[in-house]
A and B are shown apart, each in its own frame.
Chain A
Amino acid sequence: MGIDVSNLSKNYGAEVVLKGLNLSIPDNSFTSIVAPTGAGKTTLLRVMAGVEKPTEGKVYYDGEDVTDVPVQNRKISMVYQQFINYPSLTLYENIASPLRVSEENFSEEEIDARVQEVAELLNIRDLLDHLPEEASGGEKQRTAIARALIKEPQFTFLDEPLANLDYKLREELRGQFQLIFQEEQSTFIYATPAPEDALSMSSHIGFLHDKNILQFGESEEVYYHPGYVEVGSYLNEPQMNVLNAELIEEEGTKCFRVSDELQVEAFDQEKLETGRSYLLGIRPQDLEIGELEGSVTFDTVVSFNEIVGSTTTLHSDHQGQEIIIFVPEPKRRPEGERLTISLDPQLIYVFDQETSEIVTQGSRTTLGEKK
């Protein structure tokens, strides 16, 4: 059950945004649709919600074809990136509005009880008599979410609801979201370009790439077993290192050759073809500065430092290939400094260079296997 999307295409004039997309979102899940900006997340959400018609294909809610059902007759709600509220109504009336137009004819007491309840949940009880223009960005978005929750929808669509908030507020609201959404009996579909949002909140992740869903599965599954280099690279923060390597054979053992200096003995040798090119995916947090026993070491030259919060994303260069190293402290290293990096070969993901599909991954790349 849940939402099923079958062979969905959406064009805007000559521009193809989604093509032949299939997706099954399980009931009571919190599913994130993750993709870079402009990949069509919003379009997919809008078509699933029914505010836009697909060019081709069908949308099913609980197995029932709803492709032609107008949005008024669907039990859904939607929250936008922009803070959308009715400007002429108070926050109270904004939140109460779905109940007021509902065919169920709620009594004034019922409406008041529900409004107070969701307002409490979203921490906006003191502001209910304000107009939207008198509320801050965060409060506006809380109101929009309260309005989305009050009608107890079957499906709730959230289109980058945190994108227009400043950093601290984002963090705060993201934490609260997890609590709120756990309590609500609804299926949430959340579009976001931010992997950290998706990983922290969602039970399932669908990665949208090139007009289609490239990989869909439970969040941990998608994170630890990326099916494609795009998925693995994007979902890591900072993004996964992707190194070009050629498979060579020396004295009967197959080796990945990144450069003369960096050669790693291959695992799962029978799956690999000598002379073929592969992409090695290495998470920046899996690289260590300094020499570690049992690791392969190689040299890089620091190109620049990027301090993110209280951590550093260190960009460096190894023979023309960029190596990103995650340093768990805000520390600048001088440009041009030569570093020795240790790499555990069992932390490598191997992708095929032509198809970008996963070929094999090291034994310590999965959950619980890390040191």
Chain B
Amino acid sequence: MKKRNFAVWIYFAFLLLPLYWMVNTSFKTNNEILNYMTWFPQNFTVKNYVQIFTSPFWRRGFLNSIAFVSLNVVIVIIAAVPAAYAFSRWDFRGDKHLFFWLLTNRMAPTAAFIVPFFALYSNIGLFDTHLAVALAHALFNLPLAIWILEGFMSGIPRQIDETAFVDGYSFPRFFWKIFRPLISQGIAVAAFFAFLFSWVELLLARTLTSTAAKPITVTLSRSLGAGGWDWGVLAAAGVLTMVPGALVVYFIRNLMAKGFAMGRV
């Protein structure tokens, strides 16, 4: 028992060290960062954070990210719920092949889609918009969301649907009143994965935006100032980038625990 605990602590130490180092760095001055290796900030400062919150350059990055990530989650859930219902409940020609093919989309490397997306979006005027990134991310998130939700829905007896129809429910009313509460956890899990992918994805987000919709991840990777890298600000931005993810996980952790157990994650 003791040995096992020990191994777990070692694991967490390795896991948390880079995170700790980033938080640590974000409260240091550039001078300290570059010249000493210190476990705690010698001259504790929040200057880096102040700079981010006061600079429209950083703020816009955050807002852009939040905008297209939210848009992406909404698109993915709106499209995945009916699709998953169809895969779970109905038999149609090629349903199993289609279902598997969807998942294989998730396996394709992001880079393979860069050129077609860029060309397409430039032509139809979507380039450098939030919708462009949200749609591109949906290509990867949608299959996963359908896969997760299908697992959830298949865990709900078909007879519940039938009973509702026998009782006289119309399909939309049944879906909203009876079915939606049953799959809410699945929706939370699917939304979480869509959020996660979209929030950290860099390649597509960078290619499909220039200035108007530039997300925070891109800002992070491009924030080379005239005086070289501003390490402190960079670390602070990194910390702030993790905050939304941590918040999401915190608020839906109960839903997710059950979701992981039930669905196909």
Q: Check if A82 sits within 8 Å of B159, measured CB to CB.
A: yes
In angstroms, Cα B182 to Cα A144, docked, is 18
Most-contacted residue by chain A among B159, B167, B169, B170 (CB, 10 A):
B167
Partner of A49, one of B160, B166, B167: B166
Q: Which of B146-196 contact A (CB under 8 A)?
A: 157, 159-160, 162-170, 173, 178, 181-182
List, in ascending order, chain B residues with CB within 8 A of A144's CB: 163
List, in ascending order, chain B residues with CB within 8 A of A102's CB: 168
Q: Check if A78 sits within 8 Å of B168, measured CB to CB.
A: no
List, in ascending order, chain A residues with CB within 8 A of B167's CB: 77, 97-98, 101, 147, 151
Is residue A80 contacting chain B, with contact meaning CB distance below 8 A? yes
Is residue A60 contacting chain B, with contact meaning CB distance below 8 A? no
Partner of A80, one of B159, B164, B173: B159
Q: Check if B181 sits within 8 Å of A78, measured CB to CB.
A: no
Q: Interface segment, A83-91, A163-171, A216-224, A261-269?
A: A83-91
Q: Check if A88 sits within 8 Å of B168, measured CB to CB.
A: no
Q: Check if A78 sits within 8 Å of B164, measured CB to CB.
A: no
Is residue A76 contacting chain B, with contact meaning CB distance below 8 A? yes
Is residue A292 contacting chain B, with contact meaning CB distance below 8 A? no
In angstroms, Cα B166 to Cα A80, docked, is 12
List, in ascending order, chain A residues with CB within 8 A of B164's CB: 86, 97
From known contacts A80-B159, A82-B157, A101-B173, infer whether A88 and B181 are also in contact, taking CB-CB under 8 Å: yes
Is residue A1 contacting chain B, with contact meaning CB distance below 8 A? no
List, in ascending order, chain B residues with CB within 8 A of A98's CB: 167-168
List, in ascending order, chain A residues with CB within 8 A of B162's CB: 51, 71, 78
Q: Check if A76 sits within 8 Å of B178, measured CB to CB.
A: no
List, in ascending order, chain B residues with CB within 8 A of A151's CB: 167-168
List, in ascending order, chain B residues with CB within 8 A of A87's CB: 160, 181-182
In angstroms, Cα B167 to Cα A84, docked, is 12
Q: Check if A77 sits within 8 Å of B159, measured CB to CB.
A: no
List, in ascending order, chain A residues with CB within 8 A of B159's CB: 80, 82, 84
Q: How large is the interface on B (under 10, 10 to 19, 20 to 34, 35 or more residues)?
A: 10 to 19
Separation in Å of the A272 CB from the closest CB of chain B? 50
Q: Which of A21-66 contact B (CB under 8 A)?
A: 49, 51
Separation in Å of the A334 CB from the closest CB of chain B? 48
Q: Check if A84 sits within 8 Å of B157, measured CB to CB.
A: yes
From known contacts A80-B163, A84-B159, A86-B164, infer whether A72 and B169 are also in contact, taking CB-CB under 8 Å: yes
Most-contacted residue by chain B among A88, A103, A144 (CB, 10 A):
A88
Closest residue of chain A to B173, judged by CB? A101
Separation in Å of the B188 CB from the closest CB of chain A? 15
List, in ascending order, chain A residues with CB within 8 A of B178's CB: 86, 88-89
List, in ascending order, chain A residues with CB within 8 A of B165's CB: 51, 70-72
Interface of B is mostly: helix
| Residue-wise interface mask of B (89-106) relative to A, using a CB-CB cutoff of 8 A (1 in contact, 0 not) | 000000000000000000
Q: Check if A51 sits within 8 Å of B168, measured CB to CB.
A: no
Most-contacted residue by chain B among A72, A77, A87 (CB, 10 A):
A72
Closest residue of chain A to B160, judged by CB? A84
Partner of B166, one of A78, A82, A89, A103: A78
Closest residue of chain A to B161, judged by CB? A51
List, in ascending order, chain B residues with CB within 8 A of A51's CB: 162, 165-166
List, in ascending order, chain A residues with CB within 8 A of B181's CB: 87-88
In angstroms, Cα B181 to Cα A86, docked, is 10
Q: Check if A72 sits within 8 Å of B168, measured CB to CB.
A: yes
Separation in Å of the A135 CB from the closest CB of chain B? 16
In angstroms, Cα B178 to Cα A82, docked, is 18
In angstroms, Cα B166 to Cα A147, docked, is 11
List, in ascending order, chain A residues with CB within 8 A of B160's CB: 84, 86-87
Separation in Å of the A188 CB from the closest CB of chain B? 15
| Residue-wise interface mask of A (91-117) relative to B, using a CB-CB cutoff of 8 A (1 in contact, 0 not) | 000000110011100000000000000
Separation in Å of the B32 CB from the closest CB of chain A? 56
Most-contacted residue by chain A among B160, B163, B165 (CB, 10 A):
B163
In angstroms, Cα B157 to Cα A18, docked, is 24
Closest residue of chain B to A52, judged by CB? B162
Separation in Å of the B177 CB from the closest CB of chain A? 8
In angstroms, Cα B164 to Cα A107, docked, is 21
In angstroms, Cα B168 to Cα A77, docked, is 9
In angstroms, Cα B159 to Cα A87, docked, is 12
In angstroms, Cα B165 to Cα A219, docked, is 32
In angstroms, Cα B170 to Cα A84, docked, is 18
| Residue-wise interface mask of A (67-81) relative to B, using a CB-CB cutoff of 8 A (1 in contact, 0 not) | 000111000111010
List, in ascending order, chain A residues with CB within 8 A of B169's CB: 72, 97, 101
Most-contacted residue by chain A among B157, B162, B170 (CB, 10 A):
B162
Q: Check if B182 sits within 8 Å of A76, measured CB to CB.
A: no
Separation in Å of the A268 CB from the closest CB of chain B? 49
Separation in Å of the B173 CB from the closest CB of chain A? 7
List, in ascending order, chain B residues with CB within 8 A of A77's CB: 166-167
Separation in Å of the A121 CB from the closest CB of chain B? 18
28 residue pairs A–B, Cβ–Cβ below 8 Å: A51-B162, A51-B165, A51-B166, A70-B165, A71-B165, A71-B166, A72-B170, A77-B166, A77-B167, A78-B162, A78-B163, A80-B159, A84-B160, A86-B160, A87-B160, A87-B181, A87-B182, A88-B178, A88-B182, A89-B178, A98-B167, A98-B168, A101-B169, A101-B170, A144-B163, A147-B163, A147-B167, A151-B168
Q: In the complex, given contacts A101-B167, A147-B167, what are 18 additional A-B residue pairs having Cβ atoms less than 8 angstroms apart?
A: A71-B165, A71-B166, A76-B166, A77-B167, A80-B163, A84-B163, A86-B160, A86-B164, A86-B178, A87-B160, A88-B181, A88-B182, A97-B164, A98-B167, A101-B168, A101-B169, A102-B168, A151-B167
Identify the B interface with A (CB < 8 A).
157, 159-160, 162-170, 173, 178, 181-182
